[in-house]
Amino acid sequence: MSEFSHQPRSRVIAIANQKGGVGKTTTAINLATALALSGKSVLIIDLDPQGNASTGLGFPPEERTLSTYDLLIENASIADVSRETSIDNLYLAAATTDLSSADIELISNSRRVFKLRTALTQLSNMPQRIDYVLVDCPPSLNLLTINAMVAADSVLVPLQSEFFALEGLSQLLMSVREVRETANPKLRIEGVVLTMYDRRNNLSRQVEEDARENLGDLIFKTIIPRNVRVSEAPSYAMPVIKYDPTSLGSQAYLGLAEEILERHSLVA
């Protein structure tokens, strides 16, 4: 029996939006860092073939010997694929461009949507307990994103404060409903976080108003502002929380982690 078997299972959150450029990877990296700083042990699973989360945590392509491609296609173990990052309590399963062909390679597999869920059953074999698994999904509702949803307890949706934002959200929510009805009945919406928010912009305020009116408590109280430090941090292969801890972006992500931990403590 695993030494971790008596402990609560890891909480798995898929960070998804089929639209690119909404702050999805930025949210994955910085929320994971904030949770790690709070004392939680966190694993980021990079499922985006672009590998931006991997680059943003200091792992260039040439250093990704085993990747999430090996996890899904070659049946590598989660312990073998995961690496320590420069941030205490934060681990990464990196992505490579090999993931681009994963949809095609999985299509003939009858268990294709369960590959990540099956891989995560081996989390107890990792040398350290993992409290949170954050899955950074690609910007599309493809087989990789469906794998994340089938494996997840919940889906966190970054929503850019721009025109038509809510229209794109409806398609994602429909996909969540379909996964819940077919493969993962416990899947729920963790929440929707407004990103790239500019308080000086009437459009940002209008998007927030519409989102809260339509989705109520699903919208996090915490809002991620449009912030130059958040934009600069990836070029230094660092989360903004490490790059500039005092910036408005850093404080927002710390607040988001606190809000999520508070929600989870209420339902634990």
Domain assignment present for 3: no
Check: pTM over 0.85? Answer yes or no: yes
Domain assignment present for 173: yes
Q: Which residue segment(s) compose the domain that 178 sits in?
A: 11-267
CATH assignment at residue 156: 3.40.50.300
d(CA 212, CA 139): 24
As for how many domains the chain has, the answer is: 1
Domain assignment present for 67: yes
Q: Encode pLDDT of 6-61 as tens digits.
A: 456 899 999 999 888 899 999 999 999 999 999 999 999 999 999 999 999 999 99
d(CA 138, CA 144): 7
Domain assignment present for 234: yes
Of 199 and 33, the structure prediction assigns the larger pLDDT to: 33
Mean pLDDT of 138-147: 94
For residue 70, give both structure tokens: 């090996």
Domain assignment present for 2: no
Domain assignment present for 85: yes
Q: Work out the number of other CB atoms within 10 angstroms of the CB of residue 129.
A: 14
Of 80, 9, 81, 1, nearest in space to 47 by CA: 81
Domain assignment present for 117: yes
**Which residue type sits at 83?**
R
d(CA 22, CA 81): 27
Domain assignment present for 170: yes
